[in-house]
Structure 1
Amino acid sequence: METGNQTTVSEFLLLGLTEDPALQPLIFNLFLSMYLVNILGNLLIILAVSSDSHLHTALYYFLVNLSFTDICLSSSMIPKMLVNILTQSQSITYTGCLTQVCFVLIFGGLENCLLAVMAYDRYVAICHPLRYTVIMNPCLCGLLISFSLLISLMDGLLHSLMVLRLSFCTNLEIPHFFCELAQIIKLSFSDNFIDNILIYIVACIFGGVPCSGIIFSYVHIVSSVLRMPSSGGKHKAFSTCDSANAVAIPGPDASGNNLSTHSWVS
């Protein structure tokens, strides 16, 4: 018989990458190092962009948001894994597991959207260079970030609410180091057909749409660059796809296209 949410469920067990005790210290040190490098690298990006007015462009605005999102995404998974290894425990509370699922979905979806937005930014910079500052104005950039965050929040909350209606049996072992949505649904003895269909639909949206946008942008970028008559102009155009060169002002190329990206934040 199907019931509502199984309130007697108090915790899940995260089995991690391996149950071999000899490998636990190695895994702990490896993931701790990766996590610290990730946090430090992204914080340096945020600090560098914030402190240099020359980097106050649309591309770097998106890059700062991507760095912050990456910090949040890794922080949603890795710390709990490290704590479990350190305390030699595999448990995570029911509430903690659902919270982790929600945050992973939100920040994972937001990261995909930001990558697509950054690809669109480069498309405008190369294919419509003279109108770049008009198109990629602060208002549009803010709307793109807000819309990406909104749909990511809706996705995370929707899946979390769907999991709340499920009932679970006694075997609550998750064969991962974090609470993965698909594995949680597998542990349920409730009718999870709608949940599985929802996972596939959302995966197509958050995977297919951003990927299609990125492919569309870079196909037009390559096509536009290949039509440029000079090799110098092609090099300058391709360099704008590199965040390290995006704030350079290369000036007009041989075909008269201005490939510069100007600051829109004072």
Structure 2
Amino acid sequence: MSRVNEVIAHEVPEGVFDTYGIENAFCNCLNSEEATELLNRVVTEKPAYRNAAVKKVCSDIEKDFLGCHEQLVEDLTLRFESADHRLRQSLGTVLSRLSEVAPSFIEQKIELFFLQSRYVGVRRRGYKIAARRDKLDEQAVLKAWHEHSDYEAAWLITKFFPVFFLIENIKDIEQHFTEGWQFARLYLRIAEVQPNLLPRLKDRDPISYCYVLVKTGIEISDDEAFDIMESASQDERFGLFVWSLGKAGKWDVLKNIDSKLLEIQERRAEQLMKQHGS
């Protein structure tokens, strides 16, 4: 019996509750070819050994990427098509781990494979790989965005694509966002080139608008700050608004807020009680 088959057939003796890491130890005895064979098999045959096998293969790859490792990636991707949800999860986890230590061309291959999937959970793995690479594969991300309109694609576009692209596609990008910090990130980049678009942000999210003004060094008048203050005081991010005013040097506006803190607090408490039906 081969050593791989012995590992597959291994059973913990009845009554043993601590194996002292013997699964990892067995895996560490295998050579690279044996380890890749084991990992290819334990994904379905012996899930309990999966983590140990992944660690061993990743350790081997970091030392020397061999043909058996490239074949392993090929085999795992081919199994996706007929895999059920549970197996896809396992295969995706293994490929994600391998992508972290594999050479750049293999990392890119896994990324593209994930991004081309019809399953959003698989595509999300591809976006994670894309985000950490030294150079974003803009074509692959853009293709996934056009085909699936994933939020993760819109976020990568916001962070890494040229500003002119953000300006041209601002409406399509905005529709993927719901949180102020997302809009702030988008408009921080746009303001570098076209600050006249910032009123769009003010209409959508006045607090993020004030934050972007401060971060980009654009002046906000006292009148404008006072206009925003009323609605901002009922927002859970009111502290961010106050911080922005401090950075902008809005002493008089802050003094006004200081005089109304108790009123603001009481209105906020009342609002929360209504929201929670109390």
TM-score if structure 1 supplies the norm length?
Answer: 0.21
- State the structure with more CA Rg: 2
